[in-house]
Structure 1
Amino acid sequence: MLCVGAGTGLELIYLAQAFPQWQFTAVEPAAPMLDICRQRAEECGIASRCTFHEGYLDSLPASHSFDAATCLLVSHFFMQQDERRNFFSQIASRLCPNGYLVSADLASDMSTSAYQSLSEVWVRMLRYSEVPAEEIEKFRDSYGRNTAVLPPIEVESIIASSGFDTPVLFLQTLLIHAWYARRTPRSLEV
C-alpha cells in the first residue's frame, strides 16, 4: 500500500491495524509530519511493516508496484489541472495492473448556492470542532486561491485522464469527496 501525502499517518495506522498482513510505504514531504507518522507507527507496533520516504512521489526510488494507493486531502493543493493530472499519473505508474486508488479532496462548484450552503455548514462544523476563528478564515480564504476546489465532475475527469477508470464517488462529507478508481490497462504504457 502506497500512502501519498501520509501526513501524521492516520490512515496508515488504521489500515495497518485492520490488515496485519499489509506492507506500507508512506510518502510525505514535511519532515515533522513524517516524524510523527513514524513515531505513531512505532508506538502501534507496525513500523516494521512500513517504509518512510521524506519527499515527493517523484523522488521515491523505483521499487515493486503497489496493489493500492491512498491520497487523502492532497491533490487539491495542485492549483493547475495539468499538475494535478501529472500527480495522479505518477500514482498510476506506481500501481500494479488493476491496482486501486482511493482519493479524497475538497470538491464543489464554488459558483453555486449548494456550495454556499455547504460552506456555511462546513464553517459551523469547524467551530464545533474548536478550530480557532482565525484558522477558519484562513481556510475559507484559501479555497480557490491556494486550494483548488473544483466541481466533483472535474476532479473525476482529471483522475480518469491520468491512467484510471472512471472514479466512483463513495463518500461525501460536506466539501470532502472521496473516490476509488482502478488503474486502466492503457496506463501500463505510460
Structure 2
Amino acid sequence: MTAAPDSAQKFDASRAGEYEQQSRIALAGYDACHDLSACMLAAALGSGRAARVLVAGAGGGAREVVTTAALEPSWHFTAVDPSEPMLALARARLEESGLDARTEVVLGTVGDLPDGETFDAATLIGVLHHLPGDEAKRAILRDIARRLRPGAPLVLAGNHQPYASQPLLLAAWGERWRQQGAGPDEVEAKRARILQGADPPHSEQAVADLLRESGFAPPLRFFSSLFWGAWIARRSPSAT
C-alpha cells in the first residue's frame, strides 16, 4: 500500500516486516474494508466475467489481490509498488496463496506502466494520505484514470481529515492501540508518528474534488473507520 518513490522511502525493511500486524491495529476493520472492496468491484463489474485489475500500492501483503482473487477466479491483476521490501512481502503472500500465476508484479509506480495498457478496474488503498500535497495525489489518480477504460471502477481508500483537527478521533485511535496491549509510551510514540508521517486529504469533499479533477465521476462511500474512508468511483467517459 505504498506510493511514490519519495514517500516509499519510509517503507523500509523494518516497517515492511511489521506492516501486516500494525495495519490491522491502526485500521479497525482492515479485513472488512478489503472484503467489501472486493465485493464492490465484483458488483460494479458483474461477477463471473474475466477482468484485468490494476492494484496500485500493492506492497505489504497484496491483500487487495488475495481477497479479490478469492471472490473472482477469472480476474488477473497487475500489482504495482515502488518499495522493494514491501513488494517482496506482497510476492511472498501471492506465492503462498497460489496467485503468482494470476498476478504481474511491478516494482515502480503506476506512471511507469505502458500508456497502452487498459484495465477493467483499479484499487488505490492506503496510499493517498502518504503523498504530500494535492498535486501528487492528483498525479497518481490521473495515471490510474489514463489506464482505465471509460466507466471502469476505482476503489479508493485511505485516511482523510487532518489528524490534529479531530482530537476525539485521534484519542480514540490511541485507545485502539492501548486496547491491543500498547503501553502509554508506545501509544504516544505512535500518535506522534501519525501526526508527522502523512498528509491526508482535508475532508471527504476534498477526496471527491481530487477524484473529479483527475477524471472520475462522484464517489460513493461504502466504509468508514475513524479517519479512514473507502469509496468507489468510475472513470469519467471524458477523462484523458
TM-score w.r.t. the length of structure 2 is 0.71
C-alpha distance in 2 between matches for 1:35 and 1:71:
19
C-alpha distance in 2 between matches for 1:85 and 1:139:
28
Which residue is equivalent to 1:82?
Answer: 135
What SS does the aligned partner of 2:132 have? coil
Alignment of 1:107-126 (within 5 A): 107-108=160-161, 110=163, 112=165, 115-126=166-177
Rate the CA distance shift 1:133–1:89 in 2: closer, same or farther, 3 A. farther
**Range with bigger deviation, 121-130 or 155-164:** 121-130
Which residue is equivalent to 1:147?
Answer: 198
Q: Is the 8 A contact 2:162 2:199 kept in 1?
A: no
Residue 232 of structure 2 is aligned to residue 180 of structure 1:
yes
C-alpha distance in 2 between matches for 1:121 and 1:64:
43
Q: Deviations over 1:73-100 (max 9, x none)?
A: 1011112111111111111111111111
C-alpha distance in 2 between matches for 1:130 and 1:26:
33
Q: Superposition RMSD on alpha carbons, in Å?
A: 2.0
Q: Deviations over 1:110-160 (max 9, x none)?
A: 565xx2111111111123234576664454335564311322211221112
Which residue is equivalent to 2:221?
Answer: 169
Rate the CA distance shift 1:168–1:119 in 2: closer, same or farther, 3 A. same
Q: Which has the larger helix fraction? A: 2
Which residue is equivalent to 1:51?
Answer: 104
Q: Is the 8 A contact 1:4 1:26 kept in 2?
A: yes
Gapped regions of structure 1 (runs ≥ 5): none
Q: Is the 8 A contact 1:110 1:151 kept in 2?
A: no
C-alpha distance in 1 between matches for 2:57 and 2:185:
25
Give 2:179's match in structure 1, choosing from 115, 120, 128.
128
What is the number of equivalent residue pairs in this alignment?
186
- Identical counterparts, % of pairs: 32
Which residue is equivalent to 1:3?
Answer: 55
Q: Which has the larger strand fraction? A: 1
TM-score w.r.t. the length of structure 1 is 0.89
Rate the CA distance shift 1:130–1:100 in 2: closer, same or farther, 3 A. farther
Which residue is equivalent to 2:46?
Answer: none
